[in-house]
Chain A
Amino acid sequence: MLTITDLHASVADKPILKGLSLTINPGEIHAIMGPNGAGKSTLGYTLGGRPGYEVTGGSATLDGADLLELEPHERAAAGLFLGFQYPVEIPGVSFVQFLRESANAQRKSRGEEPLSGAEFLKLAREKAALLKMDMEMLKRPVNVGFSGGEKKRAEMVQMGILDPKLAILDETDSGLDIDALRICGEGINAIMRKPEKSVLLITHYQRLLDYVKPDFVHVLAGGRIVKSGGPELALTLEERGYEAVEGAGA
């Protein structure tokens, strides 16, 4: 699914990722944990193609396609979904309008027929219900006036509608109360835990992993993966902190 090899990336000429390698197979859920400044969000943005995140070496492929050669919207059409830590507000543009354009732009680039208004609304209603979100909220401007928790649930609704192959979720758990955390976790499982799909969870804490059980956990520090293990690694990190584990891994 996703193969990252010796990836180097800089932001404003400052190297952040320094030789990161990671392989995610179909059906797997991986979690990347790490201290502040380790490069976790940079990894998400670099794979998503955000302007200002410059790749200086290495490669990243999605099902064999060179991800780094594609424009951000082409990466989405290729099956990548990036869940934002801070979803962006877009005044005047409704979720329904935005998501229908998104879904149909992706379908068009894959040579599929566009969804009709009725087909799209049916799909949106179904995914909103999955995340216990009132359909009326999707008629409002994108993320404007939404609480932190509502924004994250709306991200998961988008993921459900766009139906990606690979989701990279950047701190989806931040800013969530206990109920919203559970709803988002169950949403991720319902949408993405399938043999042909994969997830990369970027997080600081164990708590999301109580709901979305990862198959692999990696520790990112200094722009590289310094330790990998099973789900038990997240528990060890929670108990002993990053410093102890990084020290052991180095």
Chain B
Amino acid sequence: MTVETLPTRAAEDWRYADVEALKALWPIAAPELVTVPAGGSFSRTILQTGGGVTRLSLVLESKATAVVHILNAGGPYARVEVDVLLHEGADFTLGGAQLAGEGETVEIVTTVTHAQPNATSRQLVRSVAAARGVASYLGKVKVERGADGTDGEQSVRAMLLDRTATANARPELEIYADSVKCAHGCAVGELDANGLFYLASRGVPPAQAKALMLSAFVAEAFDGAEEGDNLQAHAQALLEKALLEGKA
């Protein structure tokens, strides 16, 4: 997707964006284009912890595979866009975690197009939002005519640390083929109060107890990541910082 003029929130893909903050980042770079040749593989870790906009556009030729892991955080606005076109039998996996600290807006926006048959795709996104923070995931899966045997899956969960925190999850399926499997699940919640009391009863102070539980929550997004430990360490540090500063 090319964005030439500053978008407004009327544009579907920018409806939860912080347009004021985006102005300061404008103009944003065009997406990085990567073509993964037939049978090839690609992996990328996007570690964006100081805000900004990162855009990646992938074309997977037949039977190519790609894995993208994301840690997205930092204010006032942090956005990661990943656009993927899948040819026959290609496989795409995305694991993303994001943290909206106090008053920050973070979002991950994916568009996965199954252009040919038998391609598979999975997106797993875990979001955490502190006071007045907004964490959004917009995930579109398009299955084009004739792309039979498509297997797509989205798992989206968000954790709110305060009553003023917001999480948006917008899965969107456009299916023009028969014999397609597309599953998506979405849940927004708060940390389990019983779990927090259990940890406290063993002596763990509240901020540390929350960091422990949230760190386990986002860890799922880094399953199988080459830089999993590094991502997890960054996530843990960001969570502890947000919890101690925000008294969330």
Interface size class of A (residues with CB under 8 A): 20 to 34
Decide: B205 and A105 in contact? CB cutoff 8 A: yes
Inter-chain contacts of B213 with A (CB < 8 A) = 90, 92-93
The residue on A at minimum CB distance from B211 is A101
How many angstroms between the C-alpha atoms of A92 and B215 in the bound complex?
8
Which listed residue, A89, A92, A109, A142, touches B219 by the CB 8 Å rule? A92
B198 within 8 A of A: yes
How long is the Cα–Cα vector from A89 to B199 in the complex, in angstroms? 11
A71 with B200: CB separation less than 8 A: yes
| Residue B40 lies at the interface, judged by CB distance under 8 Å to chain A | no
Partner of A99 from B195, B202, B217 at Cβ < 8 Å: B202
**Does B201 make an interface contact (CB < 8 A)?**
yes
Within 8 Å by CB of A90, from B205, B216, B219, B220, lies B216
State whether the Cβ of A115 lies closer than 8 Å to any Cβ in chain B: no
A residues within 8 A CB of B209? 73
Query: A162 near B193 (CB under 8 angstroms)?
Result: no
Q: Give the interface centre of B192, B194, B217 by most chain A CB atoms within 10 Å.
A: B194
Residue of chain B at shortest CB distance from A161: B202
In whole angstroms, what is the CA distance A104 to B209 when docked?
Answer: 13
Contact A101-B204, Cβ < 8 Å, known A51-B193, A90-B199: yes
Most buried by B among A97, A98, A103, A162: A98
Question: Does B185 interact with chain A (Cβ within 8 Å)?
Answer: no
In the complex, whether B224 has a CB less than 8 A from a CB of chain A is: no
Closest to B220 in A: A92
| Interface membership of A88, Cβ < 8 A | yes
User: What's the Cα separation between A101 and B204 when bound, in Å?
Assistant: 7
Residues of A within 8 A of B197 (CB): 48, 50-51, 72, 88
Q: Does B206 contact A (CB under 8 A)?
A: yes
Binds B, one of A76-84, A208-216, A240-248: A76-84
The reply to whether the CB of B212 lies closer than 8 angstroms to some CB of chain A is yes
Cα distance, A101 to B192, chains bound together (Å): 19
Q: How far is the CB of A250 from chain B (nearest CB, A)?
A: 34
**A contact residues around B219 at 8 Å (CB):** 92
Question: In the complex, which residues 221-237 of chain B have their Cβ closer than 8 Å to any Cβ of chain A?
Answer: none
Contact of A77 with B203 in the complex, beta carbons under 8 Å: yes
Q: CB distance B205 to A82 under 8 Å?
A: no
Check if B201 sits within 8 Å of A82, measured CB to CB.
yes
B212 near A97 with CB under 8 A, answer: yes
Given contacts A73-B204, A73-B206, contact A88 B198 (CB under 8 A): yes
Q: How far is the CA of A133 from the CA of B217 in the complex (A)?
A: 27
**Chain A 53-95: CB-based contact to B (< 8 A → 1; otherwise 0):** 0000000000000000001110111000110100111111100
What residues on B are CB-neighbors of A189 within 8 Å?
Answer: none
CB pair B212 A88 closer than 8 Å: no
Q: How far is the CA of A75 from the CA of B202 in the complex (A)?
A: 9
Bound-state Cα–Cα, A84 to B200, Å: 13
Select which of A75, A88, A92, A105 is within 8 A of B208 by beta carbon: A105
Q: Which residue of B lies closest to A97 (CB)?
A: B212
Residue numbers in B under 8 Å from A75 (CB-CB): 201
Q: What's the least CB distance linking B208 to chain A, in Å?
A: 7
A198: Cβ under 8 A from any B Cβ: no
Q: Which of A90-147 contact B (CB under 8 A)?
A: 90-93, 97-99, 101-103, 105-106, 109, 141-142
Identity of the chain B residue whose Cβ is nearest the Cβ of A84 in the assembled complex: B198
B residues within 8 A CB of A203? none
Note all chain B residues with C-beta closer than 8 A to A162.
202-203
Q: A88-B195, A92-B217 are in contact. List 13 more A-B contacts (CB 8 A).
A: A73-B202, A73-B203, A76-B200, A76-B202, A88-B198, A89-B195, A91-B216, A92-B219, A101-B204, A103-B203, A105-B208, A106-B203, A162-B202
13 contacts between A and B (CB under 8 A): A48-B201, A72-B197, A72-B201, A73-B203, A73-B205, A73-B209, A76-B201, A87-B198, A90-B192, A90-B216, A92-B217, A105-B205, A106-B203
Chain A interfacial positions (CB closer than 8 Å to B): 48-51, 71-73, 75-77, 81-82, 84, 87-93, 97-99, 101-103, 105-106, 109, 141-142, 158, 162
> Would you list the 7 A-B pairs with minimal beta carbon distance, nearest first?
A92-B216, A76-B203, A72-B200, A102-B202, A106-B203, A88-B198, A73-B200
